[in-house]
Structure 1
Amino acid sequence: MGDLFDKFDSVIAEKAALLATGVNDPFNLVMEKVHSPTEATVNGRETILVGTYNYMGMTFDPDVIAAGKEALDEYGAGTTGSRVLNGTYQGHREVEEALKDFYGTSHAMVFSTGYQANLGLMATMAARGEYIILDADSHASIYDGCAMGNADIVRFRHNSVEDLDKRLGRLPAEAGKLVVLEGVYSMLGDIAPLKEMVAVAKKHGAMIVVDEAHGMGFFGPNGRGVYEAAGVEADVDFVVGTFSKSVGTVGGFVVSNHPKFEVLRLVCRPYVFTASLPPSVVATAATSIRKLKHAHNKRQHLWENSRKLHSGLKAKGFKIATETAESAIIAVLMPGQEACARMWSALIELGVYVNMARPPATPAGMFLLRCSLCAEHRAEQVDIIIDRFVQAAEIAGIPLDA
């Protein structure tokens, strides 16, 4: 009789072979103590954090922390219930009001994670006989939401306006269609040509979702995301986002102006059948979102940090996934998995934490070290990161083009 774990033997063997080379385990790291949005103790060593998605540095904001403590004292540790039963407290309404104010929308719906927000929207909005059209590089939560539903799934080439147009043109004109885009793609840090893509989707009569998980907080005049910067707010039907990036806590949401939006609270299974977020979490989120609306100086500094790291690493001979700093994600390409792991391990030993990314999270055959900048990184920290990348490359035997 077969062991159900047998199907994972290749993964187990691959990891064992990697660790046998003597590198640190890139997928089992423990933050022993977190001191600030940019510094932690890892393996007993003071470490600069460059892989946490803490874009706006809100995790240690005094007002955010105070709001969480007050809600914990007043409402307790959790709700022990779904939003449609006993799990909606005053704080859940307040965070949804904060989202509506931030995005300028009529409706906002908060989920327990960003993953569930995508899972719920994709699985619910398109049914049998309808279509979801998505970028081939879409996030796993989008793909999983598609798998959970009954719609027909059509993929188009990453960021290809032409391919999106062609594939939409092949679908029945009368069928319901949902085009799913992301403002910032999290692996490479590249942004979608939303102005052109939204125009194509509208031409074919499709509704549009834009996932702004990695764009909220610092794209656009109000920090709403790439879709705001592209000037397509009036044409986007849904914006999906998360609290675990720029907002600095955990949770997910969908905002919309559609007049029938509120019915989703009754028909969206990941919303109906999940316990709601703890009161302390929604209190921190609401406070953070209100502050992000006016965080213009932080937005500017984050962009300065991103451009500095991108140009600095490129000047040292590293291969970067994008020609310029398109977002706060700087993806440094590596020649293979073992080289990538050696480089990651050397950086950890030098006191710099980044994300090691590999297939299936990345496109096939691509291995990279993903840096995500924070508005709280000081300029001198960015200089240190660049210097330690150079040292790590020498230790790991990674050739540079400089």
Structure 2
Amino acid sequence: MSEGISQPDRPADEISSGEGQTGDLFSKFDPVIAMREGLLAKGVEDPFNLVMEKVLSPTRAVCNGRDTILLGTYNYMGMTFDPDVIAAGEQALNDFGSGTTGSRVLNGTYQGHREVEDALREFYGFDHAMVFSTGYQANLGIISTIAGKGDYIVLDIDSHASIWDGCKLGDAEIVPFKHNDIEAMEKRLKRIPEGAGKLVVLEGVYSMLGDIAPLEEMVAVAKKYGAMVLVDEAHSMGFIGDNGRGVVEQAGVIDDVDFIIGTFSKSVGTVGGFCVSNHPKFEIMRLVCRPYVFTASLPPSVVATACTSIRKLMDGGEKRAHLWENSKALHKGLKDLGFQLGTEEPESAIIAVIMPDLEQGAAMWEALIKGGLYVNLARPPATPANMTLLRCSLCAEHSEEEVGEILAIFEKAGKAVGII
């Protein structure tokens, strides 16, 4: 045994003989394996192994040999093929090479990393910005570092996996509450011992149903009980709010939250994550946040594309307006066809179509992909209330004609499968 690894509370002879061991460590995944094999046995195309042979634009690709409309990519503002963004990446690749081969606290801070953090500070109007290699790492690192043993994290039950994992890594007391329930959140905060460190974690847009949090009321309650507030704006940055700063801006609470988490892999159109804050001690996070300290930094080409994209999003008012029109048109069209949707009205660029069960959801997904439309098939346990969802994420580059095509494909597939 390696030194430092604690031993099971069992007799030594049992340990050495191997008796009583549970066997294959993969056995815990048997239900997922059975689910996947069951779908494939029915001849359904694998919805979790799609390959894009060629990407033609932010809204179209060749998938399984078919020209396909993309409606499940989170490419909300369509920045992936922006000429200025691509040119910035090419220039950085030529000037600085393909990677940094080191973490930010060693050799991994290039000029581009400083520039993208400057762009984030300007975009949000905050004093500090810290860039991570992924959005997942941003939540993992910030949450686990600021809330540790003896502290309390109060969070929405529908929070993203990266938020839950950040809570576990930091070893704080985790106190979940019912989704978007202001009263339930306040009850949890009331029970926390006086003087304990408290962090409330919320999301602007929840990625499964596309609904938004009542941030104005929730932030007020959190501050009433002396809690710090972190809001994940991954699915609203660039799109929601007059300047695209997210639901915190739309709700008028951007100056009241302590941390905003975001990602480059959605509206920004590349990869990476970040946190912005006005806390005067925030810069110490660069030395104490393990997922930041012990991870290689983003390649120069990636931070160059992100920086250019963020600065262009500052002037993205027309794109935002068109994306809202797309969201309203698709939501109304699907509702009029008879599909059950995750929200009564469009609240974001995500529209969730609720399926009766996984088997019919997979059949519907297959009918859509064969009809030339890609959406996400979301299944339990990642979804709320064990729902099966077809999750649609619109793009500012979808034309009015493409939205019409999408509705026609949904209608044909829905009738063929018996959903409508």
Partner of 1:388: 409
| Aligned counterpart for 2:296 among listed residues 275, 295, 299 | 275
TM-score normalised by L of structure 1: 0.99
What RMSD over aligned residues (CA atoms) do the two structures have, in Å?
0.7
Structure 2 matches for 1:179-328, cutoff 5 A?
179-328=200-349
Partner residue, 2:398: 377
The one-letter code sitting in structure 1 at the alignment partner of 2:296 is A
Question: Which moved further from structure 2: 276-285 or 19-28?
Answer: 19-28
Matched, 1:86 2:107: yes
Which one of the candidate residues 13, 24, 28 is aligned to 1:7?
Answer: 28
Q: CA deviation at 1:128?
A: 1.2
Match of 1:76 in 2: 97
> Which deviates the most, 363-372 or 343-352?
363-372
Per the alignment, residue 17 of structure 2 pairs with none
**Matched letter for residue 209 of structure 1:** L
Aligned amino acid, residue 184 of structure 1: V
Residue type at the aligned position of 1:306: S
TM superposition shift of 1:21? 1.2
2:159 corresponds to: 138
Work out the CA distance in 2 between the residues paired with 1:73 and 1:254.
28
Q: CA deviation at 1:173?
A: 1.9
Matched, 1:153 2:174: yes
Matched, 1:348 2:333: no
After the TM superposition, list the runs of 4 or more consecutive aligned residues in structure 1 that deviate by more than 2 angstroms: none
Letter in 2 for 1:36: S
Residue 131 of structure 2 aligns to which amino acid in structure 1?
V
1:18 is aligned to 39
- The separation in 2 between residues aligned to 1:6 and 1:167, in whole angstroms, is 36
The whole-number CA distance in structure 2 between the counterparts of 1:376 and 1:95 is 24
Q: Any idea what SS the aligned residue of 1:241 has?
A: strand
1:40 aligns with 2:64: no
Give the C-alpha shift of residue 220 in structure 1: 0.9
Match of 2:18 in 1: none
**Letter matched to residue 229 of structure 1:** Q
**1:121 counterpart = 2:137:** no
Letter in 1 for 2:220: A
Q: Distance in 2 between matches of 1:365 and 1:292?
A: 36
1:108: which partner in 2?
129
Distance of 2:24 and 2:244 partners within structure 1 = 50
> CA offsets per residue over residues 224-260 of structure 1, 9 Å max, x none?
0000000001110000000000000000000001100
- The letter of the residue matching 1:96 is E
Normalised by the length of structure 2, the TM-score is: 0.94
Q: Which amino acid aligns with 1:80?
A: T
Paired with 1:210 and 1:61, the residues of 2 have a C-alpha distance of 28
5+ long unaligned stretches in structure 1 = none
Aligned to 1:333: 354
Give 1:11 deviation, angstroms.
1.2
The residue type paired with residue 47 of structure 1 is T
2: CA distance, partners of 1:195 / 1:7: 41
1:86 alignment partner, SS class: coil
Aligned-partner Cα distance in 2 for 1:128–1:250? 31
The structural deviation recorded for 1:282 is: 0.1
**What is residue 79 of structure 2 aligned with on the other side?**
58
Measure the CA separation in 1 of the matches of 2:417 and 2:42.
12
Shift of 1:395: 2.0
Secondary structure of residue in 1 paired with 2:331: helix
> 1:358-369 to 2 correspondence within 5 Å?
358-369=379-390
- The offset of 1:364, in angstroms, is 3.1
Deviation (angstroms), 1:46: 0.3
Q: Separation in 2 of the partners of 1:161 and 1:101?
A: 32
Q: Secondary structure at the match of 1:234?
A: coil
- Post-superposition Cα deviations, 1:177-221, rounded to whole Å, max 9, x if no partner, equal 000000000000000000000000000000000000000001111
- For residues 144-191 of structure 1, the C-alpha deviation after alignment (integer angstroms, 9 at most, x for no partner) is 111111210000110000000111001112111000000000000000
Q: Is the 8 A contact 1:57 1:246 kept in 2?
A: yes
Q: Percent identity?
A: 72
Q: Could you list the runs of 5+ residues in structure 2 that have no partner in the other structure?
A: 1-20
Q: Deviations over 1:73-109 (max 9, x none)?
A: 0000000000000000000000000000000000000
CA contact (8 A) 1:173 1:204 kept: no
Separation (CA, whole Å) in 2 of partners of 1:324 and 1:350: 26
Q: How does 1:168-183 map to 2 (within 5 A)?
A: 168-183=189-204
Secondary structure in 1 matching 2:155: strand
- The whole-number CA distance in structure 1 between the counterparts of 2:269 and 2:250 is 22
